[in-house]
Amino acid sequence: MPPKPPPAYRSELDRLMAEEGVTPLGQPAPRPSRPQAPAAPRPSPPPAAARAPRSDLAEALHALEQARARIAALEPLTGALAAKEAELQRLRATLALREAEQIGLTEERDAARAEAEAARRRLDQATAARQDLQRQLDAVPAAASLAALLTGRDLRPAEHAEVLAGLAVDFPEALRDAIQVAPAAPLAQLLEERVALTCGDPSCAPGGGVVHVQVEPARCEVCGGSDIARAFQGLLDACRQSPATPLRLLIVGGSPSYRTQLDALARPHRGALRLDFIDGKAKQRVQRVRDRVRGADLVVIWGATIMDHATSAAVESAGGATLAVRERGITRMLAAVAAALERGGVR
């Protein structure tokens, strides 16, 4: 059965009055009808539960606390992560350093290998040169001494000198060219020690045990044509006879040029003579002068040259062996010192 259409109302007021059960004025009241049982109400959906504002706030606070708790739980992990990152950076730096060291070691290894290879080549060259030299030595006939050759000629030892002297007089050039010395050192030493080239001056005459060859003064091995060198040689001979070897000689005074000449002459003979000098003109510290005097075997006061009185007095007061030389000239001074040493009296 189709639903009954709603009644039509003349106005909105009539509709509202009808809904409220109000009868409009001027209309008959409706006839009361038999009471009917009210229709069962339609079930309506349950109303939505209202949410209180306080419940929302509590949930938000709870969520916030949970978030904070999670953040707090992550903080140790954050620190650990930072530490791991720092450790990673350190390991990277260490790795870079090790790589640089490895590169350096590789370069050193390559350089060492190159040097070893060069050394091996040099060794091979030296070995080849030694072998070549050995082959040359093997090809050289064995050397024979002059005595063996003379004996092989059926000459007795007493006859050797006679034969050599005769060859040297009659065939000097042939004998010289025929003699070859290998090694040359023994003969060179013999010529150095047993042959003396000197001038005719008696002060330059060699001692015994040598072959004396007289030459012009410029070639004299003792004086070289110089009076000073000849006098100095006499001083050296006297020093070698002195108990003190080397003799420590202190010369006080003398000109700068004299001191320079004497120092140059004495320098090659420090095994026999040690020279020291004090400038006689300049003022010296007394204690220093005394120390140098006490360190000398003989002090020569060269009084003929310019001499500071205080220096001379300091030398004399220091004690020790002294010799006053009044002669002028370096040659006479050297001769006077040599004569004093030979006499053994130095005061």
Q: Give the pLDDT confidence of 224-243 residue by residue, as tens digits.
A: 788 888 899 999 989 988 88
Residue type, 336: A
Q: Looking at residues 305-326, what average pLDDT do you find?
A: 77
* pLDDT for 1 beyond 80: no
* Separation of alpha carbons 21 and 32, rounded Å: 13
Q: Answer whether residue 45 shows pLDDT above 70.
A: no
pLDDT at 113: 94
Query: With 90 as the cut, is the pLDDT of residue 124 above it?
Result: yes
Domain with CATH 3.40.50.2300 in the chain: 245-343
**Is 0.95 topped by the overall pTM?**
no
Per-residue confidence (pLDDT) for residue 205, from 0 to 100: 78
Q: Which residue type sits at 129?
A: A
- The pLDDT score that the predictor gives to residue 90 is 93
Pairing, β 298-302 against β 195-198: unpaired
Instruction: Average the pLDDT over each of 18-27, 89-98, 285-294 and give the range with the smallest value.
Output: 18-27
Of 28-37, 263-272, 325-334, highest mean pLDDT = 263-272
The full DSSP string for 118-158 is: HHHHHHHHHHHHHHHHHHHHHHSPPP--HHHHHHHTT--HH
CB atoms within 10 A of CB 161: 10
Are 293 and 316 contacting, i.e. CB atoms less than 8 angstroms apart? no
CB burial of residue 254 (10 Å; 0-12, 13-18, 19+): buried
CATH code reported for the domain at 245-343: 3.40.50.2300
Mean pLDDT of the residues in the chain: 82
CB atoms within 10 A of CB 87: 10
> How confident is the model over 299-304, as a mean pLDDT?
78
Residue 23 pLDDT level (bands cut at 50, 70, 90): low
pLDDT of residue 307: 66
Q: Is 259 helix (H, G, I), strand (E, B) or coil?
A: helix
Both tokens of 300, joined, read 């020569």
Q: What is the pLDDT of residues 103-116, one digit of tens each?
A: 999 999 999 999 99
Q: Which residue has the higher pLDDT, 205 or 104?
A: 104
CA atoms within 13 A on the CB side of 71: 6
Q: pLDDT class for 78, splitting at 50, 70, 90?
A: confident
Distances (CA, A) of 230 to 180, 226, 235, 257: 36, 6, 9, 18
Amino acid at position 295, single letter: G
Percent of the chain whose predicted confidence (pLDDT) is above 70: 84
Q: For 332-344, what is each residue's pLDDT tens digit?
A: 899 999 999 988 7
Residue 347 pLDDT class (50, 70, 90 cuts)? very low
Q: Give me the sign of the Cα torsion angle 229, 234, 235, 239.
A: positive
How do residues 137-189 score in pLDDT, each as one tens digit?
888 777 778 888 889 888 889 888 998 999 899 998 998 888 887 777 888 88
pLDDT score recorded for residue 9: 67
Contact between 234 and 338 (Cβ < 8 Å) = yes
pLDDT above 70 for 53:
no
Compute the average pLDDT of residues 198-217: 82
171: Cβ contacts below 8 Å, ≥ 6 apart: none
